[in-house]
Amino acid sequence: MSNPITAQYLNEKDVAAITGLSLSKLRSDRFKGIGMPYCKIGRAVRYKAHDVVKFMDSRRVQTCTS
């Protein structure tokens, strides 16, 4: 059984799998101060699930059907 609070946060490997971005791209974006918001506690990096969904939605491409 998972804790509902910790279930809201994803590690960088989970985010990479969800978004299709590589770990090196996520790390590079963090270093440059771009990309998704994240939390850092010690050496642990966590992304809020809501922020990952928001990031993905912001890159949604609407196609036209004729």
Domain ranges of the chain: 6-56
CATH of 6-56, one of 2.30.230, 1.10.10, 1.10.3470, 3.40.1350: 1.10.10
11 or 2, which is more confident:
11
Tens digit of each residue's pLDDT (9 = 90 or more) over 10-55: 999 999 999 999 999 999 999 999 999 999 999 999 999 999 999 9
Q: 23-32 and 12-19 helices cross at what angle (nearest 10)?
A: 110
The model carries a pTM of 0.81
Determine the Cα–Cα distance for residues 55 and 15; give it in Å rounded to an integer.
11
